[in-house]
Amino acid sequence: GGVGKTTLAQLVYNDEKVEEYFDFRVWVCVSEDFDVVRVTKSLLESVVRNTTSAASKVWESDNLDILRVELKKNSREKRFLFVLDDLWNDNYNDWDELVSPLIDGKPGSSVIITTRQQKVVEMAKTFPIYKLDPLSDEDCWSILSKHALGSDECDASKNTALEEIGRKIARKCGGLPLAL
């Protein structure tokens, strides 16, 4: 956690070229309590809101089959980007139930998953996989000094003690941008 998975996905999701390329984009925070009905409802409500001018209908049904049929109908022949943020569930059957309605999407449709679990990556068979590594101590110091001092260059002659303390703090953050 804190290495920047969600931040990177947000940068992609909010990029102007990405926005122009897709007919619609949907972001769903999944979290540890994965519920395929809840996630499918969230996707469906966002898709309907993005594809019709009518007010969004709140889907009352908890019948997964009905929800999946509606999701398939509303995303068919559209180029979509779905972001499933913070996915923890590595149950293949749950995953298959969630993504099977998306098969008829227009070529170029994509699903981005953020997760810290290697088992989730293996289950979803995502491609390509981007594994984010912690930052180097030098990159950590650069970020910390930019935020703390308003510059990535500390005047060594004036702030030797400050830089030394700052570099220790940067190392203690373990390469995690969120901690910095």
Residue with tokens 């220790």: 168
Which tops the pLDDT comparison, 95 or 155? 95
Total domains in the chain come to 2
Domain with 169 in it = 137-179
Question: Which position has the higher pLDDT, 123 or 157?
Answer: 123
Mean pLDDT of the chain: 85
Q: Who's near 41: CB < 8 A, 6+ residues apart?
A: 59, 67
Q: Is 131 a domain residue? A: no
Q: Please give the full DSSP string across 103-156, using - where no structure is assigned.
A: TTSPTT-EEEE--S-HHHHHHHT-SS--PPPPPPHHHHHHHHHHHHHSSS---T
- Percent helix / strand / coil, the chain, rounded to 5: 50, 10, 40
Instruction: Count the Cβ atoms, other than its own, within 10 Å of residue 158.
Output: 9
Mark whether 38 and 81 lie in a shared domain.
yes
Structure confidence at residue 151 as a pLDDT band (50, 70, 90): low
The answer as to whether 130 is a domain residue is: no
Residues 174 and 110 grouped into a single domain:
no
Do 111 and 32 have their domain in common? yes
pLDDT in tens, 23-58: 999 999 988 788 899 999 989 988 887 666 444 455
| Mean pLDDT, rounded, for 54-75 | 77
- Separation CA 149–CA 135 (nearest Å): 20
The answer to whether position 173 is within a domain reads: yes
Span 96-113, pLDDT tens digits: 888 888 888 889 999 999
Q: Hey, what are 139's tokens?
A: 């990159």
Of 20, 19, 25, residue with least CA distance to 43: 25
